[in-house]
A = this chain, B = another copy of it.
Amino acid sequence: MSGFSRREVMRVGAVGSAMVAGAAVASPLNGPRMLPEELDKDSFAAAVKELRAIVGDDWVFADPESTVSYRKTFIPDTKGNHIPSGAVAPASVEEVQAILKVANKYKLPMWPISTGKNMGYGCATPASSGQMVLDLKRMNRILDFDAELGTILVEPGVTYQDIHDYIEENDLPYWIDVPTVGPIVSMVGNTLERGVGYTPYGDHFFMQCGMEVCLADGTLLKTGMGSIDKGNTWQAFKWGYGPYLDGIFTQSNFGVVTKLGMWLMPKPPVYKPFVVRYPNMEDVAKATDTIRPFRMNNLIPNGVLIMGALYQLAMFEQRANLSDTDGPIPDAIIKAEAEKNGLGMWNVYFALYGTEETIAATEPIIRGAFEASGGEVLTDEEMNGNPWFEHHKTLMRGGMTLEEIGLVRWWGAEGGAVAFAPVAPAKGSETNGQTELAKRIMESYGFDYAPAYAVGGRELHHIIFLMFDHGSEDSSQRAEKCMEEMITEFGARGWAAYRSSVSTMDLVAQQYGEANREVNARLKDALDPNHIIAPGKQGIA
């Protein structure tokens, strides 16, 4: 292990700022703010002053009121562990460099965000209180687009909507792969978190090509082919020469990524989306075993989602409309409601992309296999207009939709949800044990099991969306305990998360072993010796 213990954060009252309005606003977000460790009020004020000199007064936020938007989160945080001390929003790489210089000088930790819409994992909030949000939303230029190669180079503030609009406005023959709630999400942020989407370009990190990283000391690193004099290969070839570095800047706190390249999918002549309905909870095993060979031989070219009924229903329904009890909703009610809406207990979404001829050649093979496994294969013909089918039809062609935001309102308007996504091999035998475990733990805390499984390639992501009532202290506390127990129990069985909310980053990191932590600690020391970039991110101090 490295010599760095996790930082203890001191809880203090709101610090002074020229902009503070005085009276506290009546919102749960307006509790005490946190100062960074090792910084007293005077030092913090001095640092803020220097930051104002860099970006201008309008772009430093250092009082409770102006930081409200940065403190907004859907995950539970009953102990106030994720409250930023403020935020600063630079407009350029040069300003990022200057900010990091100040951060080093004052040992002021900076939590970089792109647009801060990491919905199920903590939005813009830092891994520990007191960090200042480094908000990159103003750096929002599409810097380069290559029409022949279908590649794009963007800044962190660029959303998927921006790219979608750019493509539409210029009538380009490409699709951008989007994650859920794509319109408001940053392409850079999602890719750095190794988020995924729904088209054949759904593994965003794999489709990423070249980045610019600002290190803690201001060094600007262009990865891959980015530093070749007169080179034009930065977005064409991923690996470069020598150690391939991009990976260490994903799910990481080793640098601030200020530019990122991405490949776009050529728009196919024909696009045909499918859903396969399965009636029973245990059918997820059969679905998985049917999907795996098609992902491996690429007959199905996109990541396949196996959506649980409750996950689907919660997009458009509030809990109160389905049940008037506080306890978990019984499967029978969910099943009946699903059937009423044209859904199975599991709904498998995939698509074919090509010409009429290539799809005609492929479809019967896939259809036959799903039908043999007990699934009901449906297309636009039968499902046209079904809101869930339309939703996935939109996603699988890289379309814009915000509908999954509905999930956070399951328990009411306050909103509350946190995601847990353990990974397993893509085998049916890995599914029902997970489902039973998650269901048992969640129901013991009074929550509903809202699942999806995703078969990206040879791996299976189990996406468990824990919905709770953010307005209730009790519900929030139960959600925290439930999540901790799930992570622990799943981990003990070999199922560890590929990603984590800010509140469980360290817990998950422990499951990846001491050698991994030790190497990360050494890399952190080498690249950010003062630990000013996002301490605690993914459990790295």
Contact = CB atoms under 8 A, between A and B. Distances in A.
A513 to B, nearest CB: 3
Nearest to A505: B242
A496 B148 CA distance: 21
Interface string A497-541: 111100000001101110110111011011100000000001110
A284 B508 CA distance: 51
B520 A523 contact: no
Nearest to A422: B233
Interface in A467-510: 491-500, 508-509
A515 B494 CA distance: 39
Contact of A513 (B222, B424, B491): B222
A242 B540 contact: yes
A244 B236 contact: no
Nearest to A509: B242
A251 interface: yes
Interface stretch (A27-35, A313-321, A360-368, A374-382): A360-368
Interface in A206-241: 206, 209, 215, 219-223, 225, 227-233, 235-237, 239-241
Given A241-B508, A508-B241, A527 B522 contact: yes
Contact of A205 (B221, B227, B239, B297): B239
Nearest to A527: B522
A229 B297 CA distance: 30
B496 A228 contact: yes
B268 A425 contact: no
Contacts of A424: 232-233, 236
A239 B194 contact: yes
Contacts of A527: 519, 522-523
A61 to B, nearest CB: 29
Given A151-B458, A266-B296, A458-B236, A509 B222 contact: no
Nearest to A353: B297
A247 B246 contact: yes
Interface in A184-205: 194, 200, 205
A40 to B, nearest CB: 32
A516 to B, nearest CB: 6
B228 A512 contact: yes
B301 A515 contact: no
A251 B247 contact: no
B458 A242 contact: no
Interface string A158-191: 0000000000000000000000000000000000
A141 interface: no
Contacts of A220: 515
A250 interface: yes
A471 to B, nearest CB: 31
A359 to B, nearest CB: 8
Contacts of A146: 425
A515 B247 contact: no
Contact of A425 (B233, B354, B358, B458): B233
A87 B221 CA distance: 37
Contacts of A263: 458
Contacts of A538: 241-243
A381 B512 CA distance: 54
A252 B146 CA distance: 31
A500 B241 CA distance: 9
A508 B230 CA distance: 15
Q: Give the 3 A-B CB pairs with smallest separation, nearest first.
A: A227-B513, A244-B247, A357-B361
26 contacts: A148-B427, A149-B292, A149-B296, A194-B239, A200-B298, A205-B244, A229-B511, A230-B492, A231-B496, A233-B425, A233-B494, A236-B459, A240-B512, A242-B251, A242-B512, A243-B247, A243-B248, A243-B520, A244-B250, A246-B247, A357-B361, A360-B361, A522-B526, A522-B527, A523-B523, A525-B526
Given A227-B516, A242-B516, 12 more contacts: A149-B427, A222-B516, A225-B423, A228-B494, A233-B423, A233-B459, A236-B424, A241-B509, A242-B520, A243-B523, A358-B358, A360-B361
